[in-house]
Amino acid sequence: MFGGLPKLRRLILDHNQLVNMTTVDIFEGVQFTNLTYLDLSYNDINRFSPSDSYARIVAPQISYLNLRGNKLKDFLPSVEEDQTVINSFINLDTLILADNGIVTFSGRRLSNSSKLRVLDLSCNAIRNLTKEAFLGLNRRLEELDLSMCIAPPLTAPWIDWDAFTTLPGALKRLYLRSGRYKKWIFGVIKQSGMALRMLQELYLDDNDISFLLKTTIPELPMLRVLSLSRNALQSIGPLVFQSLPNLVTLLLNDNQIVAIGRNSFISMKAMRLDLSGNNLLQIEPGAFDRVPLLQSLMIGRNPAEVQDMFIAGGKNLNYLGIQVGRAN
């Protein structure tokens, strides 16, 4: 079908009816290819065949593979049938396996993808994560999406306390959205030891987190972005973020925070702070004076009157968003 297009670099076949890749060899007759980008998302694919041309010729060239929204439920450590095919993608940089109904995942299935930097496992049916899940992954993996897309009345999947100890040490971005984990997810992160010492971005949106203590968030010395959007936070106490000395962006939008005090963000180096869409009724005068590097502040969609947020501070502020708020 596409065997006669040797200069083709990007092929997008999303939302077709490629239910079974063994039915037709779409690269039949191909002798060589420049294809590096392959999008097969939302095709209901349930298996591959090691005899197809892409397994022998095309797969080794692919650096971006999108399999989102298929039915690769047999992507399990005990299944050997597709092992030859998976091992053929030796130059993968980005692999998207989101929304495939995967119940159990084993990084050993990707042990041959030694160049893999981005792995998306979001919105699958994983119910239990153990440290065995991440064994075999490329140690230079930089981005991992484990967002669960859980909605009530479903309960949170279980994560073993030591599950993150085997995460690749080079990991920079970790997504754990929509898991209904509450604040115990920080306990799992704390138990990760050195595995997350290089983490720069952490996304914990939509997790029903209702409160944070000074000891809740573990030490993450390299973290620059923390997103806690769309949780159930009601207050921000002093020094809650003290374990994040290099935090630049803090996203607290769409929570239930009712008040911001002068010490809420004391000693923070944040440059971007989003408090929009909360239930702010009180903002103490000079509340943001102790965030001297702040450049962007979003505080719209709140009922509080916005005045005297800065008394001696705000010298570096270049963006202020008070949309649908009340400014005096």
Indicate the pTM of the whole model. 0.93
Residue 301, Cβ neighbours under 10 Å: how many?
18
Per-residue pLDDT tens over the stretch 18-44: 876 555 566 666 666 788 999 999 998
Cα 240 to chain center, whole Å? Answer: 22
Query: What average pLDDT score do residues 253-267 get?
Result: 94
| Whole-number pLDDT of residue 154 | 81
> Per residue in 4-39, is it b (16+ CB within 10 Å) or e — as a string?
eeeeeeebebeeeebeebeeebbbeebeebebbbbb
116/112 Cα distance (integer angstroms): 9
- In the predicted structure, residue 80 carries a pLDDT above the cut 80: no
Instruction: Report the Cα 277 to chain-centroid distance in Å.
Output: 22
> How do residues 215-252 score in pLDDT, each as one tens digit?
999 999 999 999 999 999 999 999 999 999 999 999 99
Angle, vertex CA 176, rays to CA 93 and CA 40, nearest 5 = 40
Q: Lowest-confidence range among 72-76, 95-99, 273-277, 309-313? A: 72-76
In this prediction, residue 132 carries a pLDDT of 94
Cis peptide before 153 (omega within 30 of 0): yes
Classified as helix, coil or strand, 278 is: coil
Q: Which residue has the higher pLDDT, 20 or 11?
A: 11
Whose CA is closest to 224, among 250, 253, 252, 206? 250
Instruction: Name 120's bridge partners.
Output: 96, 145
What is the pLDDT, as a whole number, of residue 87? 78
Task: Give mean pLDDT, residues 285-289.
Answer: 94
CB 145 within 8 A of CB 112: no
- DSSP lists the bridge partners of residue 37 as 10, 64
Least confident of 66-80, 89-103, 262-276, 283-297: 66-80
Average pLDDT over residues 159-172: 97
Angle at 255 between CA 101 and CA 263, to 5 degrees: 135
β 272-274/10-12 pair status:
unpaired
